[in-house]
Homo-oligomer: A and B are copies of this chain.
Amino acid sequence: MGQALARFERHLVSRGLRLTSVRRAILTAVLERAGHFPIEDLIADLKRRGIRGSKATVYRTLPMLTEAGILQQAVITGDMRSYEAAVGREHHDHLVCLGCGKVVEFEFEAFEILQREIAARHGFRLEGHHHQLVGRCPECQRKELAPAAPLSEGGASRTQHSPI
């Protein structure tokens, strides 16, 4: 935490910006939400704590945190922007359940190596990646078999989540 704060301040100062109390509050709130979080939730958090933090300010601050390397964007559903902490953790990717939305993180060194290889092959300098596997978690697979309308043709697939 203190480390992240120092890092943030360094980043800000290096470009003539200021570490204000609002920004500090946002950083704190961000670090408390360990996992992935949609921006909207973060704003609600701030409101709840009596920090006024307007939408505009939060939207302005998060990219700074990203540039400072404290956050990283997590493109979970493709619907909404969403972030997660980037400091003090190994890089990881996501496995998302289409049924219930559960997100599991995984790390796999081999992917990183292959990715660098691919980028190099095309002359790109790799700066990041999004890697997300989508499927059905064990519970949702079980639920699929059990309940109502087991194989009534249309019914099941109409109500499914957007097939991404």
Interface residues of A (CB under 8 A from B): 14-16, 63, 66-67, 73, 75, 78, 81, 95, 97-98, 104, 106, 108, 110-111, 114-115, 118-119, 121-138, 141, 153-154, 157-158, 162-164
Contact = CB atoms under 8 A, between A and B. Distances in A.
**Interface residues of A, dominant DSSP:** mixed
B124 A137 contact: yes
Contacts of A108: 114, 118
Nearest to A132: B130
A161 B9 CA distance: 22
A111 B131 CA distance: 11
A90 to B, nearest CB: 15
Contact of A15 (B110, B127, B136, B154): B154
A114 B110 contact: yes
14 contacts: A16-B154, A63-B162, A78-B78, A78-B130, A95-B119, A95-B122, A106-B118, A122-B137, A123-B137, A124-B136, A126-B135, A128-B133, A128-B135, A129-B134
A124 B141 CA distance: 8
